[in-house]
Amino acid sequence: MELRYVKVLRIDLCFKILNMISKQLRLQWIITPLMLLGLSLSSIAQNIQFKGKVIDADTKIALEAATILVKGQNQSARTNANGQFTISNVSPNASIVVSYVGYTSKTVAVSTGEVVITLVKEDVSLNEVVVTALGIKKEKKKLGYATQDVKGAELVKAREVNPINNLVGKVAGLTVGMNQEMLRLPNLVLRGGRVNLIVVDGIPINSDTWNISPDDIESYNVLKGPVASALYGYRGQNGAIIINTKKGTKDKRGFAVELNSSTTVQNGFIALPRTQDEYGPGDHGKYAFGDGLGGGINDADYDVWGPKFEGQLIPQYDSPVDPITGKRSSTPWLARGKDNLKRFIQSGILNTTNISVASSTEKADLRFSLGNTYNKGILPNTSLNITNLNLASTLRFNSKLTLDANINYSRQYSDNFPDVDYGPNSVIYNMTIWGGADWNIDDMKNYWQPGKEGVQSIYAEYQRYHNPYFMAYEWTRGHYKNDIYAYTSLTYKLNKYVDLFARTSATTYDLLRNEKMPFSAHPYGREEGKGDYREDKRGLFEMNNEFRANFRTPEIAKFFNISGFAGGNLRQFNYNSSFASTNYLNVPNVYNFANSRNPVLAYNFASEMRVRSLLYSVDIEANKYANLNITGRNDQLSALSKDNNSFFYPSFNLSTVLSDYLTMPKQINLLKLRASYAKVRGGGSFVNDYIGSTPNNSFPIGYGQQYQSTYGGPSYTYANVYSTGTGYNNTTQASFTNTLLDSDVQPDDRTNLEFGVESRLLNNRLGIEATYFSYLDGPQIFSKAISQASGFASYVVNGTKTKRTGYDFTVNGSILKKANGINWDVTLNVGAFKNILEELPAGVNVLNTFYTKGMRTDAIYIRKFARTQDGQIINDAGGRPTILPVAQFAGYSNPDFVWGVNNKVSYKAFTLNFQLDGRVGGMMEDYVRKKTFQGGRHIETIEGAMGLARFQDYKGVKSYLGEGVQVGSGAIAYDAVTGLITNYGSLTFAPNATKTYLQDYISRVHGIPEPNMMSKTYLKLREVVVTYELPAGLVKKSPFKKATVSLVGRNLMYWMPDSKFKDVDIDQYPGESSIGLQTPTTRSYGFNLNFIF
Amino acid sequence: MKKIFQIVTLVLVIGSMAACNKSFDSLEADPNRATSVPANLILNNVLLNFTNGGFSTKQRSNQYYLCNYDYYGNNEYNWTGYSFGGYNTLKNIAQMEAEATKSVASPNPYTAIGKFLKAYFLYDLTMNLGDIPVSDALKGLTNVTPKYDTQKQVFQQILTYLEQANTEMGTLKTTNYVLASDFYYGNDLSKWQKAVNAFKLRVLIQLSNKEADADLAIKAKFAETISNPTKYPVFASDADNLTFVYNNQYNKYSTNPDNFGFDATRYNMSSTYLGNLASLKDPRTFFVAEPASALVASGKLPNSYDAFAGAGAGEDLATMSKNAGDGKYSFINRKRYYQTYTAETTTQVGYQELCFNMAEAAHRGWITGQSAETWYQNGIKASQAFYGVKEGANTVTFQKPNGTLAESVTYAVDYKYADYYAQATVKYAGSGTAGLNQILLQKYLSLYQNSGAEGYYNWRRTGVPTFHTGPGTGNSQRVALRYQYPSTERAVNKANVEAAIASQYGGADDINAKMWIIK
């Protein structure tokens, strides 16, 4: 007995010691079996054996290696692979605590027989860790400002060519002006400001977003305002998009291989201009082809106001020419080209494939990823490839020193991408707006005139328009861009309280864009049609060297925990570009500068900038009551004038989780309040986010899109310098700057205040996060207009203040939550803002003719019709509306709010994700509608009263009677300032009695924006993804460890309140008041395969 | 391990230092552009801004030709703000003078031409607006709210500049001077001097309503100028003109083969010009225009004056557009204006105008010893010669009906100046309004597509010829008399612009109000 007692005691003591060691070494998993062994050796009669099984409350899956501790006794156990455990020799009155990582612990009384213990998952969102500025991880709960996370995995199934477009609708306050045109930039607007800071793993990269590979992204985190991004200095004025890449992962074999592949087809239009195919080209019903250059009747640069297709005989471009007389015959005038555009456009394809290999060992993490995106455009002969290579590595030399290195290389290349901008360079301009249905697209495939191959194309007109196939295959634009970003960092843990961090990062791109313009192409300014070759080369290099000392103090007075860092950053920036063009070619088809007929036009630009920064951040945690974060950064920016180039940005943010220390009703699981303040100063217009081909010089090409690439360097706009250019007969001319500079100009100021509330309710099934923000911008670096009689148009000073206020909120909820049943989670994101002119510069009473203090800065002013006091249009003596001489207010261009709803419905192995999003409010001009009306192409010109009048036009009869009145007596007098009619009293009006031609009526009416102002409200069924995860049984027999198959669709449905404006897809115009042309947008659908080997 | 850390740190430090080989402060300056340039480069720029070309909107305001295609334009006088862009050029003139004076003390050729150019741009601004800032102008930051000088003061300043330009040129032309980039006169100051005085006569004639103003003493100035050709040389023929010469590659005439297909049927002749020309049976008709195809189809001979018709500028555009398409109006002569890139030179200040100014001055009795009729005839002859009108047999070229740009047909036109001049409508009717109106009409005809807005100013001052109005001219069927001040002035120089508007136009910046010079 005694001996036995001693033995037990000894064993207990041994276990105590072992336990202590194991706690230190986290070696419980070794100790536990030993303990069990030891326990099994001792047997205490009065105690019992307790058996149990631990499972997940929702999925009922067994939890392996859960810890069981007997309260008050030094006994513990762990579950096996089946979730089972056994504790022998336990007092029947004892209770045990069951715990498992990520689950809420549970206390259970000991009983006989096997007990099933269910554990509930802890709500991750309560303890979520997010990556904040400079790559610093923080508990979301402790943040004093708004950020929002998007998991990378959510964006890799239903793909967009540009991955950033996938963020649309996912973040409250972030508007993605998604551009469907190949290689165009999405317009990323965060709380009304264009985001120009993209940060990968803590390093700012210079990216147009085309080089971001979503397969390498663990998560996106959107820092919504300056308070969150103050540590980035002036570049963080509009917030930032933080991207965290995937690192090496652990797997039992020491590596993991993942293959992700998506293929979608773009097909079926959601927005398509509605055009008529009843009348052909010409003017006032007349047309006859002569030479397509003005030699016939309205046969050049025509509108589609020609004769009706009635089979009548008219000389046409392909009518036979009598070889003897040389006279062109007449052939039947028919709508041969009905649906030309639809027949020209082909299905697009988007294929994205990515393979990654990851490995992790005690010493190192490694991940290698290779991906390719191939996009075949919907216009013939257009395509884009993006190849991406990423290597991420971590090396832990020892417990103190860690090296991280990451390199990402991306090449985007296209031998031909379309230029859709308004003009003869655009297929849409040529086919939708100004092209008639008199020619058949199928007849245009052999596009050279016989005997004039390479020199003269075939088309129905030769002055302004082009054969679409000729454009697609001969007039090509290339884009070849290499993007690299890389970093190496070292972290050294000096001691318990301090670690040191140093990092060098580089971001660089080089770009070649070229354009090959064949003979007989003749866009604006190139009417001689002798071909051209152009090259646009740009190279950017940016390097950041940073150093930080991170510290954390021991707990002070058992209440405060203080941590933070101090450091510095040196940023170096270099940019060099050149643009060269032939001035017509000598020999067709030789695209070389040596082949230029006239001297080559060449431009170049170089810039250099340095930013020296010192920064710090301090976090003070006051027990469970509050978290305070204070940051400061001082930048010295070489682009600003010497005396005022150093400036400081402070920020404070405070959060308190009320539910941590106040008793809350049980429905409230979390309630947090936060407040923050930041002052972010910057270079204003002394630095440019984007740069064109020939900076500070006029762009020599008069058509199409001038490419803007990402920049971030000095603008040199305000230098007191001469601009030189081409003078008389290719000599040089110079002119002096038109802008004066206040040498005392101070950096641009933005003061940001933000308040937020976060709450989780009803057992965490409902979450709410809401933020109110205000930005006080100013005094801005402002180009103040001065009397031009001074010899200068503007003076750059500090002036004007604007105030932007708004809110964004996210609500997420589990509508259905049932183990083994249907689960439905919904997230709603809403964001809104408005921008007010708060203060004008001294001596200025109105800005840009219309804007006075207190007005919204997005107010739209457009030309409008003169109307009577009761709103009737006043027509002139010719029966066409009179237009007021001064533009009038017509609404606001920014939407009232932007929203997105994400749904995730899962049932067993199936998951359905679908997203609806849209915007509400805001106005803009529907330019496509305007132009198709002006061109006589719009379908409404053949419908109703207009349709009848159009037929009379064709017959040469004035028959269209416009709505409204005419002046009976008196002459209209306008106020010189407002442009409004001042003498209604002395005017008499009579109903409009003058009939006119529909063509001329429309030309007047649609010459101004008023009739085509549209609401920007729309809704899209953005995305539907149905995923099936192969069941475990099936996967076991396969080489995969995990496999999912998804059916995906994007852009499936598009709704807007007034369907007559459905000829444009509003997506790409978040803040614009007028739009350009766009390629009709399509639905996209396909499948995604994801395999983990 | 420490070693590795040290090495990496060292590499980082060296890496960051190696890239900084320029001083931080030096990076502020723009490395791409110059802070000082040779004066001739600025002269090149200023002279391009100075140039008024043919077939511009100004020539539509002159009612020489009309646009019948709403999409490209119209013939309305719904004028709004007139750009103060001229001040930007005036600043560049000042910069040019300053750059030139760095190497050669003033006066130098650039300061001399600069004074003429200043007068020219001030004239353009005041003729379109009325009062404008002059004495306070071009002071940069020293005065960003310049007060407005009265139009009379502006003209006094213009005349002063012209006097100074003449004096400086007179002195400099006999010395060695260096001038470059003068594409007008090939760097010859003696030619510029003639242009200065010819322009001065234009200015004095435009002031004819202020004949009685003792401060201006325009009669005396006119007489003084023409009575001393040594001190004030003027043009003796079209060869002396201040004329812009076009070239095939870089400075193409505004109508040319490139835009024939765009424009040929969208711009037609105006009755104000072509109607008068044809009714005078003036052979210039056949050189500037083509017969209206509908009139030819109705039996008129293509080489007869009654086959030519212009549209009324006031005609409703819908009607004009349709009528033009139906061949009822004459189009611009394509042989002359579309077949090449260098249709004709564009006179900025010329001998023909000088002739009519002399005739008018003589008619008004400002000068003695000069025959109004002789100068009147000199003007007509010079203008006809400009178009290639010859005594006797002329060959005129028109578009081949339904032909391409290259295809044309020719007709014979017989012309005798004596017969032409013998017509009562042409023969100088002597003193009295009829004679004056003949001078003014022939002056208007000679200003076709040249000398900027002089055709319109001529009408505005005298009412000759009668401008056509109607729905097509907008502005409640009126021809506007001026432009408004630029709206930026109301925003940034409010008190001064409002004072100017109040003193001239009773507080309303009205495009139909009369400015001082035409009162």
pLDDT at A720 over 90: no
So what's the pLDDT on residue A139?
A: 82
> How far off is chain B from A877, nearest CA to CA, in Å?
5
Distance from CA of A962 to the nearest CA of B (A): 13
The predicted structure's pLDDT at residue A31: 38
Contacts with A570 from chain B: Cβ below 8 Å? 16
Query: Do the chains contact at A736 and B36, CB–CB below 8 Å?
Result: no
Q: For residues B228 and B218, what is the distance between their CA atoms, to the nearest angstrom?
A: 16
pLDDT computed for residue A153 by the predictor? 83
> Which residues on chain A are in Cβ contact (under 8 Å) with B400?
none
Establish if B245 touches chain A: CB-CB under 8 angstroms.
no
Q: Cβ distance A441 to A468 under 8 Å?
A: yes
Q: Do B262 and A636 touch (CB under 8 A)?
A: no
What is the sign, positive or negative, of the torsion defined by CA atoms of B482, B484, B486, B489? positive
Give the integer Cα–Cα distance in Å for B364 and B376.
13
Q: Could B490 and A977 be called an inter-chain contact, meaning their C-beta atoms sit closer than 8 Å? A: yes
pLDDT, residue A125, reads 53
State whether residue B219 is helix, strand or coil: helix
* B350 interface with A at CB cutoff 8 Å: no
Residues 423-462 of B with CB under 8 A from A: none
A25 has pLDDT over 70: no
Decide if B321 touches A, using CB distance below 8 A: yes
Given this model, what pLDDT does residue A42 score?
A: 41
What pLDDT is recorded for position A1? 39
Rounded CA-CA distance A584/A582 in Å is: 6
Question: Do B138 and A735 count as a contact with CB atoms less than 8 A apart?
Answer: no
Residue in A492, A788, A989 to test binding to B, most B beta-carbons within 10 Å: A788
Give B91: exposed, middle or buried? Use CB within 10 Å, 0-12, 13-18, 19+. buried
B327 at interface of A, judged by CB pairs closer than 8 A: no
B466 reaches A (C-beta below 8 A): no
Contacts of A928 (CB under 8 A, 6+ apart): A273, A432, A433, A1063, A1064, A1075, A1077, A1078
Q: Which of A722, A738, A994, A1003 to mutate to test the interface with B (most CBs of B within 10 A)?
A: A722
pLDDT at A10 over 70: no
Gap between the Cα atoms of A797 and A211, Å rounded: 37
Q: Do A728 and B181 touch (CB under 8 A)?
A: yes
CA nearest A315 in B: which residue? B402
Mean pLDDT of A721-725: 93
Residue holding tokens 């919904």?
A826
Considering only the beta carbons, identify the residue of B30, B80, B470 that sits closest to A885: B80
B417 to chain A nearest CA, in Å?
A: 36
Nearest CA in chain B to A978: B487
Read off the pLDDT of residues A912-924 as tens digits, 9 standing for 90 and up. 999 999 999 999 9
**Residue A783: count of CB within 10 angstroms of its CB:** 21
Return the top range by mean pLDDT from A169-178, A258-267, A750-759, B440-449: B440-449
Ordered DSSP codes for A889-927: EEEESS-SEEEEEEEEEEETTEEEEEEEEEEE--EEE-H
* Cβ-defined contact of B321 to A283 (cutoff 8 Å): yes
Assess B332–A contact: CB distance below 8 Å, yes or no.
no
**Residue A18 pLDDT > 70:** no
Neighbours of A593 (CB within 10 A): 15
φ and ψ at residue A856, rounded to 5 degrees: -70, 140
The 10s digit of each residue's pLDDT in A191-202 is: 999 988 999 888
- In three-state secondary structure terms, A700 is coil
* B17 touching chain A per CB within 8 A: no
> Searching chain A, which residue's CA lies closest to the CA of residue B147?
A789
Q: Do strands A897-907 and A748-761 pair parallel, antiparallel, or not at all (unpaired)?
A: unpaired
- Report CB contact under 8 Å: A732, B321: no
Nearest CA in chain B to A796: B141
Mean pLDDT of A1056-1085: 89
Confidence of residue A160 (pLDDT cuts 50, 70, 90): confident
B507 touches A at CB < 8 Å: no
Contacting residues of A for B181, CB less than 8 Å apart: 727-728, 731, 733
Chain B, residues 69-128, CB within 8 A of chain A, namely 70-71, 78, 80, 84-85, 87-88, 90-92, 94-95
User: CA of A583: which chain B residue's CA is closest?
Assistant: B249
pLDDT tier at A1035 (50, 70, 90 boundaries)? confident
- The predicted structure's pLDDT at residue A124: 52
* Closest by Cβ to A976, choosing from B32, B493, B508: B508
CB of B261 within 8 Å of any CB in chain A? yes
pLDDT (0 to 100) of residue B4: 52
Question: CA of B501: which chain A residue's CA is closest?
Answer: A976
Residue of A nearest to B261 (CA): A294
Q: Judge whether B37 is closer than 8 Å to chain A, CB to CB.
A: yes
Region at B402 (left for phi over 0; alpha for psi -120 to 50; beta for the rest): left
Closest residue in A to B483 (Cα) is: A976
Nearest CA in chain B to A490: B5
- Would you call A787 and B20 a contact, using CB atoms and an 8 Å cutoff? no
Report the chain B residue with the minimal C-alpha distance to residue A577. B32
Q: How far is B207 from chain A (nearest CA, A)?
A: 24
Instruction: Give tens-digit pLDDT for A863-888.
Output: 999 999 999 999 999 999 999 999 99
- Which residues of chain B are modeled with pLDDT < 50? 1, 17-18
The answer to whether A589 and A625 are in contact (CB under 8 A) is no
Which one of B33, B141, B321 has the shortest CB-CB distance to A721? Answer: B33
**How confident is the model over A83-141, as pLDDT tens digits?**
888 887 788 788 888 887 667 778 888 877 778 888 877 655 556 777 777 777 888 88
**CA–CA distance, A350 with A369 (Å, rounded to integer):** 19
Considering only the beta carbons, identify the residue of A604, A791, A996 that sits closest to B91. Answer: A791
The confidence score (pLDDT) of residue B56 equals: 95
Which residue on chain A is closest to B81 by alpha carbon?
A976
* Structure confidence by residue, pLDDT tens digits, A369-394: 999 999 999 999 999 999 999 999 99
The answer to whether the Cβ–Cβ distance between B48 and A728 falls below 8 Å is yes
* pLDDT for A351 beyond 80: yes
* Per-chain mean pLDDT for chain A: 89
Mean pLDDT of A318-324: 91
pLDDT-derived band at A43, boundaries 50, 70, 90 = very low
Facing residue for B491 by CB, picked from A844, A1001, A1004? A844
Residues of A in contact with B47 (CB under 8 A): 728
pTM: 0.88
